[in-house]
A and B are shown apart, each in its own frame.
Chain A
Amino acid sequence: MRHLLRNLGLYAVAAWASLTLNFLIPRLMPGDPASIMFARFAGQLQPEAIDALRIAFGFTNEPLYLQYFTYVGHLFQGELGLSVAYFPAKVTDVIATGLGWTMLLAGAAVVISFVLGTGLGVVATWRRGGWLDSVMPPVLVFLGAFPYFWLAMVLLYVLGFVLGAFPLRHAYSDMLAPAFSGEFLLSVLHHLVLPASAIVIATLGGWMLSMRSTMVGILAEDYITMANAKGLSQKRIMFHYAARNALLPNITGFGMALGFVLSGSLLTEIVFSYPGQGYLLIQAVRNQDYPLMQGIFLTITLAVLAANLLVDILYVWLDPRTRAR
């Protein structure tokens, strides 16, 4: 319990630091949104329009510390302000259009990749020197070296464009209205296959190798020899004695990986026109939409922190040593 509380304190500090950076970084960039907007209509707007735009977006020349207090104050009320790129929609509304989809894609991809990779690692180590153990790691590492979006493009081109087996874009068919029907859910799954595969293929190797290396160490432990001597079933030794102990480093990695996968899935989303946070973020950066950028980074930060907290809780359950006094 004390271990958890101490971690909670750490999380609070991490959250505050990320909030502050989140506030500072966009403001240190040159340029301002009104002029970008003006430029988008290369020459079609009047000079006076820039002033009008600045008024519309409510840009202030307040000192930075005052802006910071307003920002933190609003944050605690769940107010993220108005988006510039999607003016005059609220940032919370804009993020709400894509958050569920990003969570679905990144979540599904991480879970599949983790379970599959770890499972492969366990089996490969148990049958050391077998075909699985000799073929899979190099292949997966080779695939894992490619950036997500590149794999995404290859999948899109081969399976989507050339073979036509999967849809080229979007999270569900344009012909359907979102509803809780079998047809809609099938459509969502069908659209999820390619983008999720791109992430899974790229991340599988990492899980498998790290699992394999810890498993190899664990198998040399005395308690494994002991369990063998006791005549326990091979399956029980593999999962309860070896895998459960070898899983610990991978669980820690899971929390970290979620952060990477979230950012990687942003790129994948763009390739598949998946209506998640990825493209929103690009739009926000292009239009210097500070409120939206802050909102997106905030959701990503909080998601990663929450995942790590979850991992900590799991850890307490998996590793009795952390429960000590």
Chain B
Amino acid sequence: MSRRLLMLCLSLMSLGGLAHCSKSPQESAQPAPAAPTTAAAPVKATAMTVIQEQQASWIRNFNPLIAPGTARWPTRAGVYEPLMVYNTLKGEFVPWLATKSEWSPDNKKLTLTLRSGVKWSDGQPFTAKDVAFTFELLKKHKALDFPAVWSFLEGVQAKDDTTVEFSLTRPYVPGLVYIVHQPIVPEHKWKDVQDPVTYTNETPVATGPFTEVKVFQNQIFELGRNPHYWQQGKPAVESLRFPAYPGNDQANLALLTGELDWAGSFVPDIERVFVAKDKENNHYWFPLVGNTTTLYVNTAKKPFDDVRVRKAISMAIDRDQIVKVAMYGYTRPSDATALSDAHDRWRSPEAVAAGDWTKFDQAKANALLDEAGLKRGENGMRTLPDKTPMKFDINVVTGWSDWVRAVQLIAQNLKQVGIDASLKTYDFSPYFERIQKGEYDISIGWTSDEPTPYHVYRDLMGTETLRPIGVVSARNWNRFGSKEADGLLHAFEATNDPAEQKKIAGQLQMFFVQNAPAIPLFPGPSWGEYSTRRFTNFPNKDNPYAKLTPNSPPENLFVLVEVKPK
């Protein structure tokens, strides 16, 4: 090979490398407003900086129908909007694109009245046709039907411009939440979309407060106001900025340096780390309205099929210590109903009083285990009646540090009553596979996150969600199904009378407390932090108009329209 040819090769290669290097950032460039002259220019006071997703670079995707979490936040509730928004703190559905919902007397027909005068961001009117079209899309493309509305829907009809009628296959009142939380897309834009399942919808036309994509680069994007928004004078915030942060550490760093106005991340020891930096402006609010962190025991296996053993394990656990040591005191011990504060309105005092098995009581735990025939051996450890030692792993996810600490404490607690339990960490995906297939003895986990206790209990003790061991089950990881609970659940589905619902919910709680299908540990905090340096009117404990966290759409809509520049 001659030297000249070689030099040519080399120079070509280096050129190729250069061309590639310089091309890729250019390709991802979008037309952006004229850049300020200095790189360190302060952020415009009217742009609110938010972090909800942790990503290193942004992919442009504003499709509200695909799996939650795949499109950029707040596509589902902020760019697009649902018909109503359930407000967890107020315990009611707030009218949004729909003003009213009405059930037929047999609870098999739901009629929604829509708000008139709402416009899409391109100025076209929003009508009942758009709603019917959206639900038809879900019917045609199974992969878009995440809430599984077509498992109970028969048909959707636009009666006139502002009335939509949903007919159901059976009375199913809890289905309301899935229908009204569905983001609605415009028919005139989406009827020509080839495949809505893989559509990235780069320039959204929507009804929400923020519909204009002002900037979209790989490390930052900015959304501007919808010129036709139906709430007069809202939103007060001119635009939302989203810098890309790859992980919790980077996000927390940005929170501490005062770059972020609103976040929803877990910050350890927040008083010292965040609030103390700027007492006047740095605030957080962690109401206990998430789901409940729960210790699952596999009730399909001995000895966990015995209710006395489940209650004994629960009594052996010192929840006060776990809450203080593992959770930085952000939460409190759970009562025996397993309901978090999101369901406070439903809580039955009788059931709470009957549930003595979430109180720390080693003597009682030991007595119950003895009674169940699990005798202590020579070494003080218990064995099953057939002499196999009671030696169990408690599964937890590697790196979920708060839960890992909680499980360490639980393992110590159980050793004290003669059960040889030890911590076992798995990466998320094998952990999740084990709990779903029922291939575990004890595992820490979470409960469902829905407006009523119905779902919490359906997923912990209904037979509908029960699958045999070895088959993946989305819920009911404890493998506990009861016909009696089924009866109560069906009764709940068929009634629309609040008093009746509350009565059945109380009976469900009582049933749960008597049978202990799973062992609740503590209600989960809903993480939210904000800074009042540039914006005010965030929800907090003095003004709890909504959840503060950006992590539970569609409730973040309340915050998006209420926050004001200082």
* Chain A residues in the interface with B (C-beta under 8 A): 1, 4, 29-32, 35-53, 55-56, 82, 86-89, 93-94, 96-101, 103-104, 107, 161, 168-180, 183, 186-187, 190, 269-270, 273-276, 278-280, 282-283, 286, 288, 310, 313-314, 316-317
Contacts and interface: CB of A to CB of B under 8 A. Distances in A.
Contact of B246 (A48, A186, A282): A282
A32 B436 CA distance: 12
Interface of B: 1, 3, 6, 9-10, 13, 17, 20-32, 35-36, 38-41, 55-59, 61, 63, 66-70, 142-148, 151, 178, 197-200, 215, 217-220, 241, 243-247, 250, 253-254, 257, 291, 428-430, 432-433, 436, 446-450, 459, 465, 472-475, 552
Nearest to A88: B198
B57 A82 contact: no
Main DSSP-derived SS at the B contact region: loop
Contacts of B253: 161, 168
Contacts of A168: 253-254, 257
A55 B246 CA distance: 28
Given A170-B243, A276-B56, 13 more contacts: A30-B433, A31-B429, A48-B151, A52-B148, A53-B146, A56-B197, A87-B198, A94-B59, A96-B27, A104-B21, A169-B245, A190-B39, A269-B56
Given A36-B428, A88-B197, A98-B57, A46 B146 contact: yes
Nearest to B9: A313
Given A36-B428, A174-B219, A279 B21 contact: no
A317 B22 contact: no
B270 to A, nearest CB: 19
A46 B66 contact: no
Nearest to B33: A177
A301 to B, nearest CB: 17
B69 A43 contact: no
Nearest to B259: A168
A161 B256 CA distance: 10
A87 B198 CA distance: 7
A290 to B, nearest CB: 12
Given A41-B69, A48-B145, A275 B244 contact: yes
A107 B58 CA distance: 23
Contact of B39 (A55, A88, A104, A187): A187
A87 B66 contact: yes
Given A29-B429, A43-B446, A47-B475, A52 B25 contact: no
B29 A177 contact: yes
A178 B28 CA distance: 8
Nearest to A39: B432
Given A87-B70, A99-B20, A273-B56, A39 B35 contact: no
Contact of B429 (A35, A46, A180): A35
B1 A1 contact: yes
A109 to B, nearest CB: 14
A44 B553 CA distance: 10
Nearest to B436: A35
B56 A55 contact: no
Contacts of A30: 429-430, 433
9 contacts: A35-B432, A48-B148, A52-B142, A169-B245, A178-B28, A190-B39, A270-B246, A275-B218, A280-B57
Given A87-B70, A179-B29, A46 B147 contact: yes
Contacts of B245: 169, 273
Contacts of A273: 56, 219, 244-246, 250
Nearest to B251: A273
B6 A279 contact: no
Nearest to B449: A43
B147 A49 contact: yes
Contacts of A274: 56
Given A41-B68, A55-B142, A100-B21, A175 B59 contact: no
Nearest to B3: A317
Contacts of A317: 3, 6
B56 A278 contact: yes
Contacts of A179: 29
In this complex, the member of A1, A46, A103 whose beta carbon has the largest number of chain B beta carbons within 10 angstroms is A46
A273 B247 CA distance: 8
A93 to B, nearest CB: 7
A100 B20 contact: yes
A170 B245 CA distance: 9
A287 to B, nearest CB: 9
Contacts of A180: 22
Contacts of A103: 17, 20-21
Given A40-B69, A45-B146, A52-B145, A178 B428 contact: no
A88 B61 contact: yes
B24 A96 contact: yes
Contact of A313 (B6, B63, B198): B6
B520 to A, nearest CB: 14
In this complex, the member of B23, B31, B32, B39 whose beta carbon has the largest number of chain A beta carbons within 10 angstroms is B39
Contacts of B69: 37, 40-41
Nearest to A93: B59
Q: What are the 4 A-B residue pairs with the smallest beta carbon separation, nearest first?
A: A31-B429, A279-B56, A100-B24, A48-B148
B81 to A, nearest CB: 18
Given A52-B142, A96-B27, A273-B56, A36 B432 contact: yes
Given A86-B70, A100-B22, A170-B243, A275 B219 contact: yes
Nearest to B430: A30
Nearest to B458: A47
Contacts of B246: 270, 273, 279, 282
A183 B35 CA distance: 10
Contacts of B36: 175
Contacts of A36: 428-429, 432
A108 to B, nearest CB: 10
A178 B26 contact: yes
Contact of B200 (A88, A172, A178): A88
Contact of B250 (A31, A169, A186, A313): A169
Contacts of B67: 37, 49, 53, 56, 87
A270 B142 contact: no
B148 A316 contact: no
A201 to B, nearest CB: 21
A310 B24 contact: no
A42 B70 CA distance: 15
Contacts of A51: 142
Given A45-B146, A48-B148, A187-B39, A97 B6 contact: no
Contacts of B218: 97-98, 275
Contacts of B475: 47
A182 to B, nearest CB: 12
Contacts of A4: 1
B178 A176 contact: no
B143 A53 contact: yes
A180 B22 CA distance: 9
A103 B3 CA distance: 27
Contact of A177 (B63, B143, B217, B552): B217
A170 B250 CA distance: 11
A176 B148 CA distance: 43
A35 B70 contact: no
Contacts of A32: 429, 433
A89 B474 contact: no
A177 B56 contact: no
A18 to B, nearest CB: 21
A51 B436 CA distance: 14
A46 B70 contact: no
